[in-house]
Amino acid sequence: MKDIVSVDHLRVEFATDSGPVVGVEDVLFTIAPGETVCVVGESGSGKSVTSLSLMRLVEFGGGTIVAGALRFRREDGTELDVAAASPAVMGEVRGNEIGMIFQEPMTALNPVFTIERQLTDGLMLHKGLSQAQASARALELLKSVRVPEPERRLKQYPHELSGGMRQRVVIAMAMACEPKLLIADEPTTALDVTIQAEILALINRLKRENGMAVLFITHDMAVVAQMADRVVVMYRGKTVETGTVDQIFTAPKEDYTRALLAAVPKLGEMKGKPAPERMRLIGDESARAARVAPVARKPQVLLEVKNLTTRFPVKGGILRRTLAQVHAVEDVSFTLNVGETLALVGESGCGKSSCGRSILRLVKPTSGEVWIGGRDIGALSPYDLRKARADMQMVFQDPFASLNPYRRLKDQVAEPIVNFGLANGAALKARVEELFDRVHLPRAFLNRFPHELSGGQRQRVAIARALAVNPKLIVADEAVSALDVSVQAQVLNLMMELQEDLGLSYLFISHDMAVMERIAHQVGVMYLGRIVEIGSRAAVFDNPTHSYTKQLLSAVPIADPTKRRFADDLAFKPIKSPIFPLGHQPAPSVYTEVAPGHFVLKD
């Protein structure tokens, strides 16, 4: 069979004020009919530029294909030189012979048009259908992507649909004209893990039923392992390695591929290991040597949370009265020992972030107690609470947003020290330098501004800032989620190193089960504001007992192509709404101790 796509030494440049910048250079791969090719790479590797070039959409972003060939075999068997095709021909190909789906389902649909209009306009354009025929086909499409109540959805607007539902609509749109090639650019990155599993399964089924080829762009090696027939690894605008998925995962030839794979945690690989382990990093032998030792000393409780409940009002009406309440955190209790990590995992909206913020009193809990180092945080006066904040610091998800773009890094790290009056003058300078050393940032960075640093470096600054006041507890809210996998591994290793050296306790809030399996001592699974299961890492991961924990773990893609799990349609129970009418008194959380220290919520 002849390839339907061949990309040969592609080079794309972007015009900027300071001359052309290379987006990709020397990209080469092919796609055979009916095959899934995954293009994988970290941010800036040029994987999206490649996929946009194939549709010639790259020119709308200021890019130009300056060299190389992009060939697409059209439906009539002729070969189209995509780089040289006229806009009219590209108009025929786009949406008709090549469909495309995008990362962000929240913004991929036009908010002011109905679902029906957005599904039918392509059909009427490409297939010459009448409005009625197109509407009938749109209904069929919604059924094929398993959108519940398809008739009603057609008349709805995008904002009335959930994220997962919208991504199904986007896929239906891309599939409308039965393209031979589907380009999926990070289609599940913005989705929760169960929704991701459903969407991956859906793409697999549609591919099988329609015999179409899929070009799948992702940064996630676990998704690659689950989806790919063949893999293209990209790095800095170049293809580094291509091969079948088994070759790439079992016998990678290039160092970069090996490093990339090493940094990826595989769910289940920690089975039977007593303590957390550092992330694997090739070339960083210290990581291998310094395995995190089990906590030898007698466990000592640092943080104790008792019956914590946080509700947010939903206001409305003429007088802006409270009409209902979001039960963000509902009767949550746990303890965290000195020098240990507790992972709070769950999907978006489960209340894990609200829980972290309530503990730090960044939001005021409705009820419950939080004890840190033997003090009841809730009972402190505003003055004492301010002083107590030195003990508890936070690292946020987005290192781009959590640093002030107008201040030098040294001033940002010094700020909390000055705030708490811990040091000044030469001592302050020495302390900031020491903190930079501590997080392995060169001292040359002291005078820089945030925009001069990469994402990983910025997150190191954020960590240094949190460490500045010698806290006992650090709440890390998705602190590594925005980072590339190799950078993520480095930052996690740094955090584990700091934990060993300084005896820090981490409350790690994350959606990433595979990472949490590696680094956590204790794991709490949250669902609808409650902890549904909590216990040691081994207990929760090796013996998941609550139905939600099981569902969650079964949805996690495993970075191992021999363990594929998304062949057939999946339909997980959608998460219920946490909004309840005023005066609703939920039952307290009651747990069964299934094993010593392993608690499961009674339903």
Looking at 1, 76, 112, 128, which residue binds another protein (CB under 8 A)?
A: 112
Closer by beta carbon to another protein, 322 or else 404: 322
Helix (H, G, I), strand (E, B) or coil at 11: strand
Count of chain residues binding another protein (CB under 8 A) = 35
Rule CB under 8 A: say whether 341 interacts with another protein: no
Looking at 43, 75, 107, 315, which residue binds another protein (CB under 8 A)?
A: 107
Closer by beta carbon to another protein, 122 or else 339: 122
Rule CB under 8 A: say whether 405 interacts with another protein: no
Buried/exposed code over 299-315 (b: 16+ C-beta within 10 A; e: otherwise): eeebbbbbebbbbbeee
**Residue 121 CB, nearest distance to another protein (Å)?**
6
Closer by beta carbon to another protein, 77 or else 111: 111
Rule CB under 8 A: say whether 178 interacts with another protein: no
Tokens matching residue 320: 């802006």
Closer by beta carbon to another protein, 182 or else 476: 182
**Residue 112 CB, nearest distance to another protein (Å)?**
5
- The residue among 577, 578, 600 whose CA lies nearest residue 589 is 600
Kindly give, in sequence order, each residue whose CB lies less than 8 Å from that of residue 19, ignoring residues fewer than 6 positions away. Answer: none
Rule CB under 8 A: say whether 96 interacts with another protein: yes
Enclosing H/E stretch for 577: none
Closer by beta carbon to another protein, 109 or else 264: 109
Helix and strand element counts for the chain (H, E): 20, 23
E-strand ranges in 453-558 read: 473-477, 505-510, 522-527, 530-536
Helix (H, G, I), strand (E, B) or coil at 536: strand
Burial of 189 (0-12, 13-18, 19+ CB in 10 A): middle
Dihedral angle at the C-alpha atoms of 197, 202, 204, 206, nearest 10 degrees? Answer: -170
Q: What does residue 379 show for φ and ψ, rounded to 5 degrees?
A: -90, 0
Rule CB under 8 A: say whether 109 interacts with another protein: yes
> Contact letters (x/-) for another protein, 311-330, by CB under 8 A?
-----xxx------------
E-strand ranges in 54-140 read: 63-73, 79-81, 98-101
DSSP category for residue 120: H
Rule CB under 8 A: say whether 215 interacts with another protein: no
Rule CB under 8 A: say whether 100 interacts with another protein: yes
Helix (H, G, I), strand (E, B) or coil at 463: helix
DSSP H helices, 176-244, are 193-210, 221-227
> Contact letters (x/-) for another protein, 45-64, by CB under 8 A?
----------x-x--x----
CB atoms within 10 A of CB 295: 16
Kindly give, in sequence order, each residue whose CB lies less than 8 Å from that of residue 349, ignoring residues fewer than 6 positions away. Answer: 575, 578
- Region binding another protein by CB under 8 A among candidate stretches 88-96, 413-421, 456-464, 489-497: 88-96
- Region binding another protein by CB under 8 A among candidate stretches 77-85, 98-106, 377-385, 474-482: 98-106
Rule CB under 8 A: say whether 125 interacts with another protein: yes
Looking at 37, 134, 174, 360, which residue binds another protein (CB under 8 A)?
A: 174
**Residue 46 CB, nearest distance to another protein (Å)?**
17
Closer by beta carbon to another protein, 211 or else 316: 316
Residues at the site binding another protein, with contacts judged by CB under 8 A: 55, 57, 60, 90-96, 99-100, 102-104, 107-113, 121-122, 125-126, 157, 159, 170, 173-174, 176, 316-318
